Structure 1
Amino acid sequence: MEEQFQLLFDKMKIEIQKQSNDLKESLTKNIMDRMDEKLNPMIEENRILKQKISNLENEIEYLKKEKRSNNIVIYGLEESEKSTSELFQNVKDIFKRDLDLSVEQNEMNRLYRLGKRNENKHRPVLFSFTNGWKKDEIVKNKKSLKGIFIAEDYSKEVIEKRKALLPQLLEEKKKGNITFMKYDKLIVKGPNTDKRKRELSSSPQSSSTNNPKKQQTISSIKTNRTNAFDLMRTRSNSLSGGSSHNKL
């Protein structure tokens, strides 16, 4: 009898434990479902906010880039001016002398020295143009400038990126690839074919040496041309001789 009670008790215990586990799982699932219902809108809202922040960051970066797009930085210009007007006149004279390019005061947006005054070296000059084409024309012909050096106006972050890319740029150029930097990106356009074309092209003398058939054809044409003139001369002589014989 006691054994039967013990078996019944054990079965009841197992059943209660099972029901307890089922109830626990059900409660956990209900709680998680309710949490998901509340969290999902928050997660979606967070995703939208992140996207908006990313878009705003891109817009800010674009505006910063556009703000600097019409700027140049002039290095090596002697710091002898006493006013912005004198500084502008010095820069204007250099552009006219070296580039034959006239820059008027109404084309200048801003012009000033960068950094704190230093007696040991000349501070760089930032020149901001009101239009982009004049700035592009100066940058395109900057190698003709004497005594000064011109660079694009980049942010510190972009300058650091360009410095980091410089070793790779030099390596690609050693390989013979057309390589240049565009803003903060390295552009590689494959091998430079101009050098190979120059190596493959040869002088007329070497080409005639390398093409004996062509040389032989040219010689044959010259020989035939000479024979034709000789034949015409012979016929002319024979005709003149015949006419004089008839007169006699």
Structure 2
Amino acid sequence: MNVIEKLLTEMRNEMQEKFANIENSIAKSEEKITANIISNMNEKFSTLCGEVNSLRTLTEEQEKRLNEIEKKSVQRNLVFFGIEEGEKSYLELEEKLHKITKEKMKLNISASEIESVRRIGIKGIKTRPVSVTFTTLGTKIKILKNKKLLEGSGLYIKHEYPAKILKIREDLKSQQKLEKEKGNEAFIRYDKLIITTNKKKTSNKRPPSSSPLQSHDESSETRELLKTTKKHKVNNLITEYMKPSESTSTEVTDRSMTA
């Protein structure tokens, strides 16, 4: 019996050793397979990230070009508010504009100086403003120089902006109001809010806790330019990508120029 028990013990030990070797071999194979899979995924993910970054750069460049095109498309435009509706044709609306510029603004604007006139918005209860495109920037400037002559007439003029810029300017108005309440000079230039702080007036006051961007003038004033920037971050490894992402940082948006 002792011999049999000894043989059984040896067989059991041998089997256990073989099982252990098999388990180790499987574990090593799994590690190797996993490492290869992750390596391949990282390589493909890195390539994909590069393509995404290229597409993002291309999109940003195209957006800049589009914004520039939109800006230039209304560069020679002015919007007239308060012109009574009721015209039955394009020529009648153009005639109304000629009458205003001649009788109220003391300007002799010829038909060749006006490229187009059109009402903006949907016809309803309120009088729709009139968008006017001039053939030259000089004519637009000439109109703006005499816009004070419209005071008290119920008519007024503003620059025309693309729809996106109008939204930005509208959002900046509340911030502009807050800056003025602080005693700062603030005005909107196109899509940016320009803030001018007078050091003499604010020297005894506690300085603001934070400011997105500051640059100093040669005089005793400090100009603050606020601009929204969205920071994009793309990890090159999928293992990093799977980690909790950091929140995108944003800065306060600057926007636009008042008429």
Q: TM-score, normalised by structure 2?
A: 0.64
Provide the aligned length of Structure 1 versus Structure 2.
193
Secondary structure, counterpart of 1:181 in structure 2: strand
Q: For 1:155 and 1:167, how far apart are their aligned partners in 2?
A: 20
Residue by residue, what CA displacement relative to the aligned partner does 1:124-152 show, whole Å, maximum 9, x if unpaired? 11101122233234335533313301122
**Aligned alpha-carbon RMSD (Å):** 2.7
Provide the C-alpha distance between the structure 2 equivalents of 1:121 and 1:35, rounded to a whole number of angstroms: 60
- Computing the radius of gyration from Cα coordinates, the structure with the larger value is 1
Q: Decide which of 151, 155, 160 is 2:167's aligned counterpart.
A: 160
Q: 1:121 to 1:31 in 2, by over 3 A?
A: closer
Cα displacement string for residues 214-245 of structure 1 (whole angstroms, at most 9, x for unaligned residues):
xxxxxxxxxxxxxxxxxxxxxxxxxxxxxxxx
| Preserved contact between residue 169 and residue 180 of structure 1 (Cα < 8 Å) | yes
Aligned pair 1:142/2:147, yes or no? yes
Greater RCO, 1 or 2 (C-alpha within 8 Å, sep 6+): 2
| 2:90 match | 84
Partner of 2:135: 130
Secondary structure, in 3 states, of the residue corresponding to 1:126? strand
Per-residue deviation at 1:63?
A: 0.9
The Cα shift of 1:112 comes to 1.6
In 1, distance between residues paired with 2:106 and 2:200? 33
Instruction: Give CA-to-partner distance per residue, 1:22-61, whole Å, 9 cap, x none.
Output: 1111122223333444444343223212221222122112
Between the two proteins, what is the percent identity of the paired residues?
30
- Equivalent-residue separation in structure 1 for 2:145 and 2:9 (angstroms): 104
Q: CA deviation at 1:114?
A: 2.3
* Aligned position for 1:29: 35
> Structure 1 residues 136, 180: closer, same or farther in 2, change over 3 A?
farther
Amino acid in structure 1 at the alignment position of 2:11? F
Structure 2's unaligned 5+ residue stretches are 1-5, 202-259
Match of 1:188 in 2: 195
| Structure 2 Cα separation of the partners of residues 143 and 170 of structure 1 | 24
CA shift, 1:82, in A, is 4.2
Distance, in Å, in 1 between the alignment partners of 2:177 and 2:103 is: 33
CA distance in 1, matches of 2:127, 2:186: 32
Shift of 1:96: 3.6
Deviations 1:57-86 (A, max 9, x none): 221122112112211111101235444334
CA change 1:116–1:36 in 2 (3 A) is closer
2:78 to 65, 72, 75: 72
Give the conservation status (yes or no) of the 8 Å contact 1:113–1:125: yes
Alpha-carbon spacing, 1:133–1:188, altered in 2? closer, same or farther (3 Å): farther
Task: Establish whether residue 61 from structure 1 lines up as the match of residue 67 from structure 2.
Answer: yes
- Distance in 1, matches of 2:195 and 2:165, equals 18
Q: Distance in 2 between matches of 1:185 and 1:134?
A: 26
SS state at 1:18 partner: helix
What is the SS of the residue equivalent to 1:34?
Answer: helix
- The answer to whether 1:12 aligns with 2:47 is no
Q: For residues 78 and 15 of structure 1, what CA distance do their matches in structure 2 show?
A: 94
Q: Is the 8 A contact 1:178 1:192 kept in 2?
A: no
Q: Which runs of 5+ in 1 are unaligned?
A: 195-248
Q: Give the secondary structure class of the aligned counterpart of 1:73.
A: strand
Higher helix share: 1
- Partner SS for 1:91: helix
Report how far residue 20 of structure 1 moved.
0.9
